């Protein structure tokens, strides 16, 4: 019983570490999108983040920048998604995607 609890707590820590890394990737990409108006789409965003994160597999991270500009304002949305498989003692308990989204609106 002790080992099951120990491995479950370790798996919970891995989940929170992964969630933090996905949130950090979203923040890095949003800062880059604010500075570079040409940064748009999924490929450019993924290339910008690749190599900056060490806690997760960069090849599995899907991150996209969407820009919506009107005559009065500019809206930037960054979404990220990362597959996470929860295991306890080698048994797959759940498989889900960890996702994060952030958006900002600026007047022109």
98 bridge partner residues: 82
More confident residue, 92 or 104: 104
**How far from 15 is each of 23, 71, 83, CA to CA, in Å?**
12, 42, 11
User: Which whole number is the average pLDDT over 15-28?
Assistant: 93
* Domain chopping of the chain, boundaries: 2-107
Cα 76-77-78 angle, rounded to 5 deg: 125
How far is residue 106's CA from residue 85's CA, in Å, rounded to a whole number?
A: 37
Report pLDDT digits (tens) over 45-98: 888 787 788 888 888 999 999 999 888 999 999 999 999 988 776 666 778 899
Which range (31-35, 38-42, 45-49, 69-73) has the least confidence?
A: 45-49
pLDDT on residue 83? 94
Return the beta strands (E) in 1-108 as ranges. Answer: 62-69, 73-88, 91-107
């Amino acid at each position: 019983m002790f080992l099951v609890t120990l491995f479950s707590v370790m798996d919970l820590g891995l989940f929170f570490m992964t969630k933090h890394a996905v949130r950090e990737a979203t923040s890095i990409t949003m800062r880059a999108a604010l500075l570079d108006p040409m940064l748009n789409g999924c490929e450019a965003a993924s290339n910008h983040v690749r190599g900056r994160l060490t806690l997760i597999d960069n090849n599995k991270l899907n991150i996209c920048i969407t820009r919506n500009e009107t005559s009065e304002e500019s809206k930037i949305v960054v979404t990220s998604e990362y597959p996470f498989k929860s295991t306890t003692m080698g048994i797959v308990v759940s498989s889900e995607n960890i996702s994060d989204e952030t958006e900002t609106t600026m007047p022109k």
